[in-house]
Amino acid sequence: MTLPDGPAQTPLTADTVLRYHLCWKHRDLDGVIALYHPDIQYHDFFQNRVLGYRELRDYVRACLPHEAGEDIVHSDRIRVDGCTAFIQYQVTVQGGDGLVAFQSSEAITVKDGLIWRVNEYATLVRQNGNGLVSSGPRPATSRLGLSPRQLSTMAQDLEHYFQRQRPYLDPELDLQQVADASGYSRNQISYLLNQVLGQSFYRYVNQARLQHLMASLDDDSVEAPIDDLAFNAGFNSLSAFYKCFREHTGLTPKAYLKQISLRART
């Protein structure tokens, strides 16, 4: 099929794609869907699948940020050439050993003032001392069919759940409990943690416990022994606590407290 193209088409394409971008930004589900052509094909190359019009409402609903203030960070202006536009963006989440991000790009084709084709490409990158670098091959393609946007939204939802509900304080917390409370399946959370964030469920939980404990150490009114603080934070064994603490600080709890004491005297 030959599409109208050329300089005359460029401003029409720019207007459509800008409205599409703003609908995503303002989490306007109906607005996004209204801009899709009935014959749209949405190519998600991260998961090697093609979505049609009937599938896209559920897809977009799952991808839209759930919290006010959350947004996809665009790394470049929208570029338009005839009936095609190009968008680049990045979504960053907190991983086990630093930041994890999806750097994505979309090639969008407009027909009759509507989005007719979307080709979405995504690369997983991780942060080292020099910034974000490619992590090599993408995570294993999952039968769950989770896109980069869906994975980033899930990671944000999981982080907010841990911050607000503090389920890690329960020493018996398990994956099924988190799945039931957060609204995702065990397989979805397991895929996110292992394939994207690069850590196990128990490592994720113990890091949340450690952050809770470290906040207690900054409170001068807390005088409990550090072993008691560890149990209060949800650790169910001192060996797990000592291992997690040393991985995070490079010191034993005793050496860390001594260091804090010396700093307080100077």
Let me know if 214 is exposed, middle or buried by CB neighbors in 10 A (0-12, 13-18, 19+). middle
Calpha distance 79→67 (Å, rounded):
28
Asked if pLDDT for residue 251 goes beyond 60, the answer is: yes
Asked if pLDDT for residue 89 goes beyond 50, the answer is: yes
pLDDT at residue 264, as a whole number: 65
Beta pairing partners, 127? 132
Asked if pLDDT for residue 71 goes beyond 60, the answer is: no
Predicted confidence band of residue 65 (pLDDT cuts 50, 70, 90)? confident
**End-to-end CA, the chain:** 75
Percent of the chain with pLDDT over 70: 81
E strand or H helix that includes residue 49? strand 49-51
Predicted confidence band of residue 96 (pLDDT cuts 50, 70, 90)? low
Scan for tokens 């005088």, then name that residue. Answer: 223
Asked if pLDDT for residue 93 goes beyond 60, the answer is: yes
pLDDT at residue 165, as a whole number: 95
Task: Locate 225 and state its tokens.
Answer: 């022994």
What is the CATH architecture assignment of 10-199?
Answer: Roll (3.10)
**Residues 45, 117: contact at Cβ < 8 Å?**
no
Q: Which of 84, 37, 33 is nearest to 63 (CA)?
A: 33
CA atoms in the 13 A half-sphere facing the CB of 247? 13
Task: Locate 143 and state its tokens.
Answer: 């039968």
Asked if pLDDT for residue 68 goes beyond 80, the answer is: no
Asked if pLDDT for residue 33 goes beyond 60, the answer is: yes
**Residues 184, 195: contact at Cβ < 8 Å?**
no
pLDDT at residue 152, as a whole number: 81
pLDDT at residue 220, as a whole number: 65
pLDDT at residue 213, as a whole number: 93
8-state DSSP, 46? T
Rg (CA), the chain: 23
Asked if pLDDT for residue 137 goes beyond 70, the answer is: no
Residue-wise pLDDT tens digits, 155-190: 888 988 999 999 999 999 999 999 999 889 999 999
- Those residues whose C-beta lies under 8 Å from the C-beta of residue 224, and which sit 6 or more positions away, are 232
pLDDT at residue 51, as a whole number: 94
Asked if pLDDT for residue 136 goes beyond 60, the answer is: no
Let me know if 202 is exposed, middle or buried by CB neighbors in 10 A (0-12, 13-18, 19+). middle
pLDDT at residue 135, as a whole number: 54
8-state DSSP, 97? T
Calpha distance 38→41 (Å, rounded):
9
pLDDT-wise least confident of 113-117, 130-134, 252-256: 130-134
Q: Which of 96, 142, 104 is nearest to 123 (CA)?
A: 104
DSSP-derived 3-state class of residue 98: strand
- 2: amino acid identity, one letter: T
Task: Locate 201 and state its tokens.
Answer: 């469920």
Asked if pLDDT for residue 1 goes beyond 60, the answer is: no
Q: What is the mean pLDDT of the chain?
A: 84
Beta pairing partners, 101? 92, 125
pLDDT at residue 20, as a whole number: 93
pLDDT-wise least confident of 116-125, 127-136, 198-207: 127-136
Predicted confidence band of residue 132 (pLDDT cuts 50, 70, 90)? very low
Calpha distance 70→254 (Å, rounded):
39
Residue-wise pLDDT tens digits, 196-246: 888 899 999 999 999 999 988 876 666 788 999 999 999 999 999 999 999
